Amino acid sequence: MVDDNELNRLRDAAVPAPDTEAKARAFTAAMRAFDDMNEKTSAATQGSVGGLRLTERAQKLWSEIMQKKLIATPAIAGLVALPIAGYATFHMLQGQPLSFGGDEKITETLADKPATVNAPAKEKLAPEGDKKADADVRNRDTTTPPKPETTVAVAPAQQDALGRGLTDEPAPVESREFSLDGTAAPAGTARVDRMNGAADTKYYAQPSTMPSDQVAPQEPNRDRVEDFKSNPVRAALQDPVSTFSIDVDTASYSFVRGSLKQGYLPQADTVRVEEMVNYFPYDWKGPDSASTPFNSTVSVMPTPWNGHTKLMHVAIKGFDVKPVEQPKANLVFLIDVSGSMDEPDKLPLLKSAFRLLVSKLKADDTVSIVTYAGDAGTVLMPTKVTEKDKILNAIDNLSPGGSTAGEAGIKEAYKLAQQSFIKDGINRVMLATDGDFNVGQTDDDDLKRLIEQERKTGVFLSVFGFGRGNLNDQMMQTIAQNGNGTAAYIDTLAEAEKVLVEDASSTLFTIAKDVKIQVEFNPDKVSEYRLIGYETRALNREDFNNDRVDAGDIGSGHSVTAIYEITPKGSGGEQMDPLRYGQATVNNGGVANADEYAFVKIRYKLPNEDVSKLITTPVTSANEVQSFDQASNDQRFSVAVAAFGQKLRDEDATAKFGYDKIMEIATAARGADPFGYRSEFLSLVRLASALGGNR
């Protein structure tokens, strides 16, 4: 043993000169200390002692059983061997030590495991049926960390788009964590394997090569979209009148864009052609004064996809209220904070979007905030925008959790709107949600009646959808239409800026409500006609003059476009046989206004009035252009968008009109594009062509 006093003396002494005697004494003390420590440690080579592998454990266990003669006879051995083997295998796979009463134990030490790291690399999981690969993962030598690997799942349709170079990178596809037995764990979490109390963390990602029958079930898509059939061709002789409500919503275009960018063609019922056409700003001629809230322009031009028909293009432009003339705004943000909103493209995006809107408001505007989850609550009482920081802090502090009590939220929001009601101002509830109302009134018709009652007070409602997989588009459309508001789908911050900043005036400031269009076609000039889009906005003929029937609204500067495909009489493009006993002659000396294609009537109410006004426009050859190329850029571009929407719906009219033709028209008519909306449209046409083929 080393003399402690000697070591203490050496420690405290000044460093001696490097003479031979001092070196010898230091060397001797060090050797003694080494020998002393060596007596307390194992003689085994460092790193050689460790737990046995699974096969070595099994051999050792079976050897112990046989050597200790735990089984006396072969007969008993046959009965007992299988249960023991199963028991042993189970415990070995669990990493637990086994003992049968002897002095020896099979153990595994912590030294056999790698040190835990903060960011473990992901391992590719072999398909469940690949037993060899599965065994390799289980028996991998843990002293060698696996090489990090990354797998990206790409939708099959998008692979074609990638191959054509039409998209820069694959769209994100939901990835789930999988354990070795094939069961799914929550995304983004790790599975912890414990052996002898030691935690070994491993991350598993679904490989793109996993057979489809072995992939864990995906979350069902609960998007609710209204089913509808495209407008049919109608005979002008039997059914000469077409009536519909205008539509300034844009939700469908954003939804279609999201589908294409994720690598698949949209469902037909998510494509509402009028919403795609009306997504874009157009430079239609507007009215000269606010006394006439909008102006209409009607043109007739050849149809690019059918040489036998023509297009009757109806363009409406609302009066653009100047910022200094805009009335005060009383806005209530009704925000869904249910548990399903806890995704990046939902509540976080929603908060950023509403921050943008607040920055657009004037100092004397008022903002309130109501949230709903398991129940509704007021987060912010009516507050002037002069206290902008207070409003923004209330938005920033929103957090998700609970079910969706939408009915209670709507009632609370309308209550607040009434408390701070501004006479002759803008009073609007702005509902932001991702999906269904699953607490309280959940039926669309019940919600419709509730909204109809509240709009009579002068408080309107707009709806903004966020996220995918739970979006109730049908409910959004219903309550927005009956709340005298708009419905938009916000999938990116850029879209939020478009809807809530660039188009804030048209989104917030209504200049005309209950706007209806009725077109009467002259059967002496038009054999057949078809309204492109507006299927969900159709009205009965008698609804046009009934001021109690609700219709769409136009905001400041809004543009609305409607397009009919008409078949001139005698053109040879008729799709229906003439009636055998139809009107062959006119006995009163001729048809009145025989030179007109049609007569367009528009009925509307001013925001604070309940009696409608009427605007009429006869459509004659004076409204006609001789070739499609002679139409304006805006007219041709809107027709290209209408063709694209019909193509996505796989309608017969555009069956032989390829995406390349749509690209050709839209490219030539792109014109001024300050915000890049039209350039983005061209990229969507290219994606659709790649995903669906240029049929």
| 199 has a pLDDT exceeding 50 | no
* Least confident window among 19-33, 91-105, 633-647, 658-672: 91-105
Long-range contacts of 606-615 (CB under 8 A, 24+ apart): 606/293, 606/512, 606/513, 607/510, 607/511, 607/512, 607/513, 608/424, 608/458, 610/547, 611/547, 612/514, 612/547, 615/292, 615/296
Mean pLDDT of 78-101: 49
Taking residues 377-391, report their average pLDDT.
95
> Per mean pLDDT, which range of 72-76, 308-312, 519-523 is the poorest?
72-76
CA pair distance 181, 127, nearest whole angstrom: 10
pLDDT digits (tens, 9 = 90+) for 92-104: 445 444 444 444 4
> Which of 221-225, 347-351, 557-561 has the weakest average pLDDT?
221-225
Quick one: 485 exposed, middle or buried, by C-beta within 10 A (0-12, 13-18, 19+)? buried
Q: How far apart are CA 684 and CA 260, in angstroms?
A: 7
Residue 562 pLDDT more than 80? yes
In sign, the C-alpha dihedral spanning 637, 639, 642, 648 is: negative
- 455: confidence class by pLDDT, cuts 50, 70, 90: confident
pLDDT for 543: 97
Give percent of the chain above pLDDT 90: 47
Residue of 474, 478, 431 lying closest to 452 (CA atoms): 478
Band (582; pLDDT cuts 50, 70, 90): low
Give the range among 34-43, 308-317, 404-413 with minimum mean pLDDT: 34-43
Q: What is the pLDDT of residues 142-198, one digit of tens each?
A: 444 444 443 444 444 444 444 444 444 444 433 333 333 333 433 333 333 333 333
Instruction: In whole angstroms, give the CA distance from residue 669 to residue 674.
Output: 14
Average pLDDT of span 442-464: 81
Q: Which of 152-161, 344-353, 388-397, 452-461 has the lowest mean pLDDT?
A: 152-161
Query: What is the model's pLDDT at position 126?
Result: 40
616-657, pLDDT tens digit by residue?
Answer: 999 999 999 999 999 999 999 999 999 999 999 999 999 999
Say if CB 371 and CB 341 are below 8 A apart: no
For range 408-433, the mean pLDDT: 91
- When the pLDDT of each residue in the chain is averaged and rounded to a whole number, the result is 76
Angstrom distances, CA of residue 547 to CA of 327, 513, 515, 604: 25, 11, 10, 9
**Under a CB-based contact definition with an 8 Å cutoff, are residues 358 and 392 in contact?**
yes
**Helix residue spans in 314-404 (DSSP H):** 347-360, 388-396
Please tell me the least confidently modeled range out of 303-307, 442-446, 631-635. Answer: 442-446
Give the global pTM: 0.68
Q: 593: pLDDT confidence band, cut at 50, 70 and 90?
A: confident
E-only strand ranges, 260-328:
294-303, 306-318
